[in-house]
Amino acid sequence: MRVFVLTGAGISAESGLGTFRDPGGIWERFDPMKLATPEAFASDPEQVHAFYNLRRRDLLAAEPNEGHRALARLEAALTASGGSLYLCTQNIDDLHERAGSRVVHHMHGELLKARCTGCGAVVEWRGELDVATACPGCGRRGGMRPDVVWFGEMPVGLDEAAMAIETSDLFVSIGTSGSVYPAAGFVDIAREAGVRTAELNLEPSDNAWAFDERRYGPAGEVVPAFVESLLAGRG
Ligand code: BJW
């Protein structure tokens, strides 16, 4: 069986990383247009760096939860039986990798990487970033930014993801509100290709109607139960 999984902030909620649009979420406390756009970075890079420095510190203190671990088990079991799991996440955290997932497509980039806007070098980055940080590649100061995808920027690897959805047997969306495109349109690609679809979320997402199957509850409970039922052939 070939399974495509799309995850969003909800899968990391029980690890203590905030979601964006839930009550008390990140975008209720911070204005996305002032922090998550190329224009915001151009006009106030210090403020953008402070926001991502804070989130990088939170991430380094967080641990994967049972939802992440269940997906790592699913990958191992499918691979061992000749199938595959394509795990595509909108999350910039590394909790899937730390839970044991081997191949993860980060369509909105990675918080623990920095990119030089001058030479394009991408480097692992676990510390603070600021406007004085020098690029380890070209030495230029002022051009280092978090290697994440802001509003108006092109997500990573869309063609590859679309092909993986179309050639899968099951599309599963976990912990995402379905409000940010193009990820929110992935379920439509699956439906048009005749792929079975399932949504696992705390509550119905904006495009819940598009899914063949829906299971609601915390990811730390719903994802392991769904994975067990899939592996037992009952999914
Ligand atoms: C739980 C839970 C628990 C809680 N257990 N569940 C139509 C087509 C194409 C594009 C657009 C379009 N319409 C508009 C656009 C533009 C825009 C967009 O979508 N805007 C919308 C807001 C309307 N999209 C873009 O700009 C994208 N780029 C693009 O389209 O490029 C094309 C292009 C570019 C240039 C030229 C030409 C074409 C880029 C989008 C980048 C998004 N970036 C962010 C920030 C990344 C860095 C960072 O983290 O700071 O990505 S925004 C933020 O939203 C982050 C997330 O990945 C993303 C999605 O959020 P997510 O994961 O769904 O979180 P929430 O909070 O919304 O939902 C959490 C869910 O979990 C809820 O449902 C809860 O119920 C649930 N939950 N606890 C289980 N315990």
* % of the chain surpassing 90 pLDDT: 99
Asked whether the whole model's pTM tops 0.75, one would answer yes
Sheet holding 122-124, edge to edge: 122-124, 109-116, 144-148
Query: For this structure, is 108 an active site residue?
Result: yes
pLDDT higher than threshold 90 for residue 233: no
Going from the Cα of 83 to the center of ligand 1, the distance in angstroms, rounded, reads: 29
Residue of minimum CA distance from atom 14 in ligand 1:
181
Ligand 1 atom, smallest distance to 25 CA: 66
Q: For residue range 182-227, list pLDDT tens digits in order.
A: 999 999 999 999 999 999 999 999 999 999 999 999 999 999 999 9
| Tokens standing for residue 119 | 């030479």
CB-based contacts of 233, cutoff 8 Å, min separation 6: none
Q: Which backbone phi and psi does 25 adopt, to 5 degrees? A: -70, 175
Cα 200 to Cα 179: distance, rounded to the nearest angstrom: 15
pLDDT higher than threshold 80 for residue 234: no
Per this entry, what is the length of the chain?
235
Ligand 1 atom, smallest distance to 177 CA: 73
Going from the Cα of 84 to the center of ligand 1, the distance in angstroms, rounded, reads: 26
Residue of minimum CA distance from atom 64 in ligand 1:
9
Domains recognised in the chain with CATH numbers: 1-17+64-108+155-235 (3.40.50.1220), 18-61+110-148 (3.30.1600.10)
pLDDT higher than threshold 80 for residue 235: no
Ligand 1 atom, smallest distance to 92 CA: 49
Q: For residue range 16-51, list pLDDT tens digits in order.
A: 999 999 999 999 999 999 999 999 999 999 999 999
110, containing H or E segment: strand 109-116
Cα 124 to Cα 4: distance, rounded to the nearest angstrom: 27
Mean pLDDT of the chain: 97
Cβ atoms < 10 Å from Cβ of 124: 10
Q: For residue range 118-137, list pLDDT tens digits in order.
A: 999 999 999 999 999 999 99
84, containing H or E segment: strand 84-89
Q: Is 200 in the pocket of ligand 1 (CB under 6 A)?
A: no
**182: preceding bond cis by omega (within 30 degrees):** yes
**The predicted structure's pLDDT at residue 102:** 97
Q: Give me the mean pLDDT over the 68-79 stretch.
A: 98
Point out the catalytic residue in the list 68, 96, 106, 108.
108
Q: Is 149 in the pocket of ligand 1 (CB under 6 A)?
A: yes
Q: Is 144 in the pocket of ligand 1 (CB under 6 A)?
A: no
Cα 13 to Cα 5: distance, rounded to the nearest angstrom: 17
